[in-house]
Structure 1
Amino acid sequence: MTSARHIQTLLDQGDREAAVREARAFLRSVTAEAGFGVTNARLTEGPATGFGVFSPREDNVFAPGEPVHAYVEVYGFSLTPGPDGSNRMTFDVSFTLDSPDGVQLTDALVPMGEVLLQSYSSPVDGYFHLTYRITGAEGTFNLRTHVVDRASGQSAEFVLPVEFAAPEAEGK
C-alpha cells in the first residue's frame, strides 16, 4: 500500500515521476474503496471544454424550453479495455424532475443515453457535460440525475435546483 510518507520520501529523493505515479496509485486505491461517485455537479452556460473548464451559470432560472447545461465530475469508475488499447468508461444517465419537497414528477426516470469517455491513460477521475431538454415545465424543481457506471453497476445521483419561468415583459 502506497502511503503519503512513501510519496514524500520519493519527492525528497528528487524522484518526482515516481512520486506522481505512486500518488495516482494511492488515489486509485482510495476511489476503489469509496466506490463510484459524482462530485462538482454544476449548472453551466454551455458544454464544458475540459476538466474543470466551463462557464458557471450565474443563476438557476431558465426560460421554458431553454436547454439546461451541467458539468459533472466522476470518480471510482470502472475501466474497461477498448479494442484500440484505450480505457473506456461508460455511464448510463437518466433524470427526473422532483418537486421542492422531493416528490418525483415524472412517471419514471427519463433516459438521456450513454456517456462514453475514452483515455489512453488510467485516469482517477473524469468529467462530462449534460444537456437537458425539458419542455412543459414551469416553476421551481429539483433536477435529479442518476448516473450508472455500466461495468460495475454502481450508481450515484446528484440534484441541481432549477426554475423555469417565462421572461418578464419589457417595461413592466
Structure 2
Amino acid sequence: MKLSSSSFFAPLSRICAIICLVFFLLCSFSVFGYARNLSPVDGFEKYIEEAKKHLLAKEPAATLAALRKATAEAWRRFPFTAVNVHLVAAQPAGYGRFIPRVDNVFRPGEPLILYLEPVGFVVKEDKNTGKYRYRLVADFNMVDAWGRVVSGRRTVGRFEGETAQFPDRYPLTFTYSLSGLPPGEYKVETIIRDLLGKKSHTVVTPIRVEGP
C-alpha cells in the first residue's frame, strides 16, 4: 500500500494539536488553582508591604492598621485551634497576664482554672460599620481514667460580640469545680465551638485529684 506524505502528516498534525490543547488546559487549570490558593497570601504580603512603607514614613497609626489587616488575612488560613493553653494559679488579669500553675495536681474542692487563646475562628466584618463579629460557645466533660464521662455540661460559656478591632487577642478563661471527685487521674475536655464557622476544637487537660 502506498502512503502519500499528506496522508501521513495529517493524523500527526491532529495528534499534535490535541496534545497542545491538553497541555494548554492543564496549564490553565494549574495557574488558576495556584492563583486561587495564593490569593490570601498575596493579600497578606500586600498589607505587610504597606506596613513597611508606613513604618519608613514614621506613621505609627497607619503601620499598625496595615499590620492588623495582615493579621486578618493570615487568620483566615489558620486552623481552628487554641494556643497558649495553661493551668493557672489564679484568675488571669487579661490577655497574656496570668500566673502558670506549677503542676496539675489538685485537692478536692480546689478550683481548676484554665487559660487559653482560640485562633482561626470565623470573624465576620460588617462593611457598613467596619466592626468585627464572632460567636463562640464552650462545653465541658470530665473523663476518668477508664474513659467514662463522670460529669459535664453543655454551654459552660458563651463568647460573642462585636469589636472595632480584629479580635486576634481574645483569651478565654474557664473555672471548673472538682468537688465530689474521688482521687484519681482525669482528663478535662473543653470543647470550643465556632458557631459562625461551624467547627469545634477540643482542649484536653490531664489532671490528678489527690485525697484530702
SS at match of 1:2: helix
TM-score between the two structures when normalised by the length of structure 2: 0.66
Question: Which residue is 2:114 aligned to?
Answer: 70
Alpha-carbon distance in structure 1 between the residues aligned to 2:70 and 2:118: 17
Contact 2:141 2:190 survives alignment (8 Å): yes
Relative to its length, the structure with more strand (as a share) is 1
Alpha-carbon distance in structure 1 between the residues aligned to 2:182 and 2:192: 22
In the alignment, which of 128, 138, 146 is matched to residue 172 of structure 2? 128
Alpha-carbon distance in structure 2 between the residues aligned to 1:78 and 1:28: 10
Give the stretch that moved more between structures: 23-32 or 3-12: 3-12
CA distances 1:5-64 after superposition (whole Å, capped 9, x unpaired)? 442232122222222111111111111111422111111122212101122211111112
1:151 correspondence with 2:196: yes
Going from structure 1 to structure 2, the CA distance change for 1:162 and 1:44 (only over 3 Å counts) comes to same
Question: Which residue is 1:162 aligned to?
Answer: 207
Alpha-carbon distance in structure 2 between the residues aligned to 1:46 and 1:89: 27
Q: 5+ unaligned residues in a row in structure 1: which ranges? A: 168-172
In the alignment, which of 132, 135, 139 is matched to residue 90 of structure 1? 135
Q: Tell me the C-alpha RMSD between the 2 structures.
A: 2.6
Contact 1:48 1:128 survives alignment (8 Å): no
Contact 1:48 1:71 survives alignment (8 Å): yes
Alpha-carbon distance in structure 2 between the residues aligned to 1:115 and 1:106: 22
1:55-66 equivalent positions in 2, closer than 5 A: 55-66=99-110
Give the stretch that moved more between structures: 26-35 or 136-145: 136-145
> What amino acid is aligned across from residue 161 of structure 1 in structure 2?
P
> CA offset at residue 88 of structure 1?
4.5
Contact 1:36 1:156 survives alignment (8 Å): yes
Structure with the larger RCO, 1 or 2 (CA within 8 Å, 6+ apart): 1
Question: Which residue is 1:170 aligned to?
Answer: none
Contact 1:81 1:87 survives alignment (8 Å): yes
Q: 5+ unaligned residues in a row in structure 2: which ranges? A: 1-42
Q: Aligned pair count?
A: 163
Going from structure 1 to structure 2, the CA distance change for 1:108 and 1:69 (only over 3 Å counts) comes to closer
Relative to its length, the structure with more helix (as a share) is 2
Question: Which residue is 2:69 aligned to?
Answer: 25
